[in-house]
Amino acid sequence: MDRKNIVIIGSGNVATHLAIAFLKAGHRILSVISRNENNAAQIAEKTRSHYSSDFAAIPAETDFIIVAVKDEAVSEVASKLNGGNAIVAHTSGSIEMNVFQNYANNYGVFYPLQTFHKEKELEINQVPFCIEGNNKATENALSELAKSISSNIHLVNSENRKVLHVAAVFACNFTNHFYTIAENILAEKNLSLDILRPLIKETALQVMDKSPSQLQTGPAVRGDEKIMQQHLNYLATKPELAELYKKLSESIKNFKR
Amino acid sequence: MDRKNIVIIGSGNVATHLAIAFLKAGHRILSVISRNENNAAQIAEKTRSHYSSDFAAIPAETDFIIVAVKDEAVSEVASKLNGGNAIVAHTSGSIEMNVFQNYANNYGVFYPLQTFHKEKELEINQVPFCIEGNNKATENALSELAKSISSNIHLVNSENRKVLHVAAVFACNFTNHFYTIAENILAEKNLSLDILRPLIKETALQVMDKSPSQLQTGPAVRGDEKIMQQHLNYLATKPELAELYKKLSESIKNFKR
**3-state DSSP of A67-106:** ECCCHHHHHHHHHHCCCCCCEEEECCCCCCHHHHCCCCCC
- CA of B202, closest CA in chain A: separation in Å? 7
Contact B245 A170 (CB under 8 A): yes
Contact A175 B175 (CB under 8 A): yes
Chain B nearest-CA residue for A124: B198
Question: Is there a contact between B233 and A192 (Cβ–Cβ < 8 Å)?
Answer: no
Contact A178 B185 (CB under 8 A): no
Q: Read off the pLDDT of each residue in B209-236 and give the average, rounded to a whole number.
A: 94
Distance CA A199, CA B207 (A): 12
| Average pLDDT over all residues of chain B | 94
- CA of A220, closest CA in chain B: separation in Å? 9
Question: Is there a contact between B219 and A145 (Cβ–Cβ < 8 Å)?
Answer: no
pLDDT at B84: 84
Contact A169 B219 (CB under 8 A): yes
Chain B nearest-CA residue for A170: B178
Between the alpha carbon of residue A192 and those of residues A163, A182, B62, B142, B176, the distances in Å are 36, 10, 35, 21, 21
Distance CA A12, CA A16 (A): 6
pLDDT at A257: 80
Distance CA B103, CA B225 (A): 59
* Helix (H) or strand (E) segment spanning residue A34: none
Backbone angles phi, psi at B43, to 5 degrees: -65, -40
Tell me if residue B18 falls in helix, strand or coil.
helix
Distance CA A169, CA A172 (A): 6
Judged by average pLDDT, the poorest of A194-203, B61-70, B113-122 is B113-122
pLDDT digits 0-9 by tens, B24-68: 999 999 999 999 999 999 999 999 999 999 988 899 999 999 999
Contact B160 A203 (CB under 8 A): no
Candidates A94, A80, A235, A131; CA nearest to B217 is A94
Question: Is there a contact between A138 and A108 (Cβ–Cβ < 8 Å)?
Answer: yes
Contact B254 A243 (CB under 8 A): no
Using a CB-CB cut-off of 8 Å, the residues of chain B touching A234 are: 162-163, 166
Instruction: Say which residue, A169 or A118, is predicted with more confidence.
Output: A169
